[in-house]
Amino acid sequence: MNNGVIWSKAQQTFVPISSIPVYAKLQQERFEQSRALETHNFQLQNLTLTAFEEPHFLDFHNNNTKISGLYGAVWNLLSESLNFTLQPVRVNVNSLGAPDRNSSVLTFKTGLLGIISRNETVIIPKIEMYEPRLAACDFVMPFWLNRFYLYTRSTIVHDDTWMVKIFSWQVWVTVLLMHVLLSVCIFLAENILIRTYGTKWNYRPFRDFLFYSYRNLCNQSIIPDYFGRSKMLEVSSGLFSYVMYTAYSALLFTYITRRVSIPPFDSLDSLTTKTNYKIVTLKGSVGDIAFSKVNFSSTFVQIRTSERLAIASTTKEMHTLVCSSQNEKYAIYQGQDEYLTTGSIICYLMPIGEACSSIWMGSGIVKNFKYKRTMDLGILKLREVGLLRAIGNHWRDQKATFNFEDIQYQIEMQQVSLVIALACIGAFQIIFIMMMNVWCKERRKGESLLAQVE
């Protein structure tokens, strides 16, 4: 009506329809009626909220007269800001309900959707918003977007190359260059001392200084008697070796216990084609509906037809299948809300890959509710001032996280295999060098005896 125009006979032109007094009055009355609905004061009117208990999302207290949890906190805050009284009703159903397949018209007869479609309640606090459910109720303004991931146990392996990865390759190159540079400096200083003070020390080849610097780098800084002494180079070499030894030792225990998680798959497609994992999801959830009825995705259809779908009645049952099953391997198809709020109950479960799907989360309200617009504006105000985000962050941090600190892991052979391998290589090198020394001495002795005979 604001943008409409009408022909004015007096002005012989089109004029805004709001400039006509009759239409302006109708427009003002309509605006006042709309505004009255948006700013309605419920005056402590009782509004029935029907749900089943879902830990961390909706908990009942005080003989089922009070509610808390993620969605309970949102509606408690809305009832205070909009001045209405919540009347919680706990029911024995355990799902939202599925459409009646025997009816030609989309209807819901079971679950919470069946209750609200029969006008037996006003509010369903938690609902995934997708179109078929509009046949049973209306949706209020969405609270947040819930993304669905695959969660499973990952294979934990130890990083057996931790000795090399403690320092980056740039640091190792720098250590090597400093080692050579210090060896050159000590070699030059030794030669200067020999030339200055005569034959007090015997001339040694450069390789001896390389070995000495390497021994110094390994925290065995004992100067041989036949070496000259340069105090400045001795202190510099010892300080460099000490700093490197301290830095290496500081990270030693962190890296030796480092564990690497290897996911068994990276997407729903790879789970289907490259593994024998089964999908487990909660009864009546979006995952149950998606895998049971979706036909436009070949992956969903393949999982359904290959009997690789398991339906669990509770969240704990899903975690039990994933963490305790010996013969079968399972992955949970679950929303991020549920994962962040519930956490890892029995064992640690990690999200795999990118989100498989996403859906808006909110609440359902009875069809043709007169003051639905009031509810929407109340939720919008909570969103604008950040209270909706704060409630979500608070309850998502209350998850029951699996405590890994109680488990003491033994150091396994894989973790120290590189250390043992290096020690064995060093031992073989020592044996080889000793054998070469013995062979060289015997050869020289034989050559000297042969010369004496000649």
Start-to-end CA distance of the chain, whole Å, equals: 128
In this structure, the answer to whether residues 275 and 221 fall within a common structural domain is: no
Q: Is residue 404 over pLDDT 50?
A: no
Residue bearing the bigger pLDDT, 337 or 213: 337
In this structure, the answer to whether residues 354 and 270 fall within a common structural domain is: yes
In this structure, the answer to whether residues 269 and 315 fall within a common structural domain is: yes
Residue 38 lies in a domain: no
In this structure, the answer to whether residues 252 and 330 fall within a common structural domain is: no
Q: Is residue 16 over pLDDT 90?
A: no
Burial zone of 44 (CB within 10 Å; 0-12 exposed, 13-18 middle, 19+ buried):
exposed
Which pLDDT score, from 0 to 100, does residue 66 have?
92
Which pLDDT score, from 0 to 100, does residue 110 have?
84
In this structure, the answer to whether residues 305 and 344 fall within a common structural domain is: yes
Which pLDDT score, from 0 to 100, does residue 327 have?
81
Task: Give the count of domains, the chain.
Answer: 2
- What mean pLDDT is reported for the chain? 78
Which pLDDT score, from 0 to 100, does residue 397 have?
73
Residue 187 lies in a domain: yes
In this structure, the answer to whether residues 266 and 347 fall within a common structural domain is: yes
Residue 113 lies in a domain: no
Which pLDDT score, from 0 to 100, does residue 262 have?
74
Q: Is residue 423 over pLDDT 80?
A: no
Which pLDDT score, from 0 to 100, does residue 50 have?
93
In this structure, the answer to whether residues 253 and 301 fall within a common structural domain is: no
360, 386, 405: which is the final residue of a domain?
360
In this structure, the answer to whether residues 247 and 317 fall within a common structural domain is: no
Which pLDDT score, from 0 to 100, does residue 405 have?
43
Residue 348 lies in a domain: yes
Which pLDDT score, from 0 to 100, does residue 203 have?
60
What pLDDT, in 10s, does the model give residues 319-335?
888 888 878 888 899 88
Residue 243 lies in a domain: yes
222, 257, 292: which is the final residue of a domain?
257
Residue 381 lies in a domain: no
Q: Is residue 399 over pLDDT 80?
A: no
CATH of residue 176? 1.10.287
In this structure, the answer to whether residues 166 and 248 fall within a common structural domain is: yes
Q: Is residue 125 over pLDDT 90?
A: yes
In this structure, the answer to whether residues 190 and 270 fall within a common structural domain is: no
What pLDDT, in 10s, does the model give residues 68-120?
989 999 999 999 989 999 999 999 887 888 777 666 677 888 889 999 999 99
What pLDDT, in 10s, does the model give residues 149-198?
998 887 666 666 666 667 777 877 887 887 778 777 777 777 776 676 65
CATH of residue 309? 3.40.190.10
Residue 413 lies in a domain: no
Q: Per-residue confidence at 1, pLDDT binned at 50, 70, 90?
A: very low
Q: Per-residue confidence at 51, pLDDT binned at 50, 70, 90?
A: very high
In this structure, the answer to whether residues 265 and 354 fall within a common structural domain is: yes
Which pLDDT score, from 0 to 100, does residue 363 have?
93
In this structure, the answer to whether residues 249 and 296 fall within a common structural domain is: no
Domain span at residue 227? 161-257
299, 332, 360: which is the final residue of a domain?
360
Residue 315 lies in a domain: yes
Q: Per-residue confidence at 220, pLDDT binned at 50, 70, 90?
A: low
